[in-house]
Amino acid sequence: MKNTKAIALITREPTETWLAFLLTFCHYDVYILLDNLALDIHPYAATYPTLQFIQIPDSECIDHGYIHSSYMPTSSLHFNEIIAWDRALYYFTNVNREYDHVWFFEDDVFFYGESTILEIDRKVVDADLVCRDKNPEPGPGEWGWFWPAITIKFSPPYFHSPICAVRMSKTLMSCIADYVRTSKKLFFIEAMLPSIAHRHGLKYQICSEEMETVYWRRDWKMEEFGKTQIYHPVKNQEEHARIRSTLGSCSSNYLHHLK
């Protein structure tokens, strides 16, 4: 292993746009965590030899308790009991525990390039959890978020944050593994990461400048994109390459003229 840091793409199955983009990375080992277990990954592995394509069977996740990272049947969200996030957390907490830090990106996240992530890492060298924010449980009369559908096997306080783009340390992932060993399952990942980090007194880094452009839902205009921030959602992954090309050919001083 040549790098101490890794990037994990969380996806059902990869697009050529994402794979060609990640193939250019030099400072991170790159993993593609797949939810489609029927997909033949051999052609991908041959075309993209520096990328690691990972498929974890449902049975392996079940046997080790890596289920329910997004499964809340009493909420408005409708996910399976096992998704790519469960597989990714199992992989980096049980199979491959060598990295000091791992960046996890869902496939509708956009950022300009490896330099974007390197710069964040330069600013937050030793943080255990790097994400957008840290929202506490609501008080009386406040919006309840998804808390009524979440069961946590330790006492409050609890927090939540968007996790479509997030960096975790080896220490935090070890704490997640400890929780699974005793509780036999995960809980909603947007609550799990910040709550477990807080419970263990880990270093929590809010990247408000670089991640203020992470939203649950948002329609973006071209002039809103830049090279130093992480954006969510950008659902049309084929547009990612066009946005990067536009950013690369224009200075930030003139970007606001673009449509």
Give the other-Cβ count within 10 Å of 169's Cβ.
Answer: 20
pLDDT reported for residue 250: 67
Neighbours of 164 (CB within 10 A): 22
pTM: 0.94
Cα-atom radius of gyration of the chain, to the nearest Å? 18
Q: Given a cut of 60, is residue 254 above it in pLDDT?
A: no
Structural fold of domain 5-257? Spore Coat Polysaccharide Biosynthesis Protein SpsA; Chain A (3.90.550)
CA separation for the pair 95, 55 (Å, rounded) = 12
Residue type at 89 in one-letter notation: L
How confident is the model at residue 17, as a pLDDT?
Answer: 96
* pLDDT value at 104 more than 90: yes
* Beta strands 165-169; 129-131: pairing state: antiparallel
Higher pLDDT, 40 or 143: 40
Each residue of 48-58: pLDDT tens digit?
Answer: 999 999 999 99
Looking at every residue in the chain, the average pLDDT score rounds to 93
Q: What is the mean pLDDT of residues 48-74?
A: 97
pLDDT of 116-144, one tens digit each? 999 999 999 999 999 999 999 988 778 88
What's residue 207's pLDDT? 87
pLDDT tens per residue, range 188-238: 999 999 999 999 999 999 988 899 999 989 999 999 999 999 999 999 999
Q: Is pLDDT above 90 for 252?
A: no
